[in-house]
C-alpha cells in the first residue's frame, strides 16, 4: 500500500492562500502567532482564516516562547488547533498547555547537524505528537535553508520517522522528493518554498509542491 505523506503549509496570511492550499490537498495549515515573524498574524486573524478550513484539515498555531496568556488567546480564537512550539520551550512548558502539540527541533545547518542528538531530543519531548525538524536559522523558522538530511539514521526505531517526524526547513518543489525518499517522514512542512514574498503564497508553487510530494510517495 502506498504511503501518503501528509502536507502542512505554514505562515499563511491571506484567505486566497488558505483556500488554494486546501484545494491543492494540504492536510494542515499553519498560522504564526509570533509577532517578530514577517508571517505573523494576530489570534483574531488566525481565527478568521481558520474558519475557512473544511473538516479534516487541521489548523496549527505556531508559538515562539509564548506566555500562557498568549497561548490561551490563540486557542480561544482557534479552539480546535494543534499547537506548534518553535522556540526554547521545555517539555514541561509544552505539557502545561494540556493540548496536543508538535515540537520543533532546530537542527544546526552544515556540519553542526551531526552533533545534534536527535534521539535524546525525541525522548525529551516524548509527549509531542510529532517532532518537526527545522533548520536552526535566525528568526525561528521560515529561513529557506535546509539542514543536512544525511546526518541522521532515519531508520532508527526510536525516531519512528514514518509516524512521528515532520520534515521541514528549506523544502521546495525541487527538493522535497529527495527529502521524502531519504527520511520517509510522516509529514512535510513548507513555508518559504511556496512563497512569492514572505507571508504571500504562490498558487503554482503550492501545486508543484503537492505534486512533488505525491510523486515521492509513488516511488
Please count the other Cβ atoms lying within 10 Å of the Cβ belonging to residue 24.
17
> Does the active-site annotation cover 134?
yes
C-beta of residue 192 within 8 angstroms of C-beta of residue 143? yes
CB 95 within 8 A of CB 103: no
147 neighbors 120 (Cβ within 8 angstroms)? no
Q: Among 17, 94, 127, 134, which one carries the catalytic annotation?
A: 134
Nearest 5 degrees, angle CA 129-CA 134-CA 138? 130
Give residues with Cβ within 8 angstroms of 87, minimum separation 6: 63, 64, 65, 66, 140
CA distance linking residue 104 with residue 209, whole number of Å:
21
- Which member of 10, 17, 94, 189 is catalytic? 10
Active site amino acids: 10, 134
Amino acid at each position: 500500500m502506498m504511503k501518503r505523506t501528509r502536507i502542512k503549509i505554514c505562515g499563511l496570511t491571506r484567505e486566497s492562500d488558505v483556500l488554494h492550499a486546501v484545494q491543492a490537498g494540504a492536510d494542515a495549515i499553519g498560522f504564526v502567532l509570533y509577532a517578530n515573524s514577517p508571517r505573523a498574524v494576530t489570534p483574531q486573524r488566525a481565527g478568521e482564516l481558520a474558519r475557512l478550513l473544511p473538516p479534516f484539515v487541521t489548523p496549527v498555531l505556531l508559538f515562539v516562547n509564548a506566555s500562557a496568556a498568549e497561548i490561551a488567546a490563540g486557542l480561544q480564537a482557534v479552539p480546535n488547533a494543534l499547537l506548534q512550539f518553535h522556540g526554547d520551550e521545555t517539555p514541561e512548558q509544552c505539557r502545561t498547555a494540556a493540548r496536543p502539540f508538535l515540537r520543533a527541533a532546530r537542527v544546526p545547518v552544515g556540519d553542526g547537524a551531526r552533533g545534534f542528538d536527535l534521539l535524546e531530543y525525541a525522548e525529551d519531548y516524548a509527549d509531542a505528537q510529532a517532532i518537526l525538524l527545522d533548520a536552526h536559522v535566525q528568526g525561528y523558522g521560515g529561513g529557506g535553508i535546509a539542514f543536512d538530511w544525511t546526518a541522521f539514521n532515519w531508520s532508527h526505531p526510536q525516531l519512528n520517522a514514518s509516524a512521528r517526524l515532520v520534515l521541514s526547513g528549506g523544502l521546495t518543489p525541487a527538493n522535497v522528493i529527495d527529502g521524502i525518499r531519504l527520511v520517509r517522514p510522516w509529514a512535510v512542512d513548507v513555508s518559504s518554498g511556496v512563497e512569492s514574498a514572505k507571508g504571500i503564497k504562490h498558487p503554482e508553487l503550492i501545486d508543484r509542491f503537492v505534486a512533488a510530494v505525491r510523486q515521492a510517495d509513488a516511488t
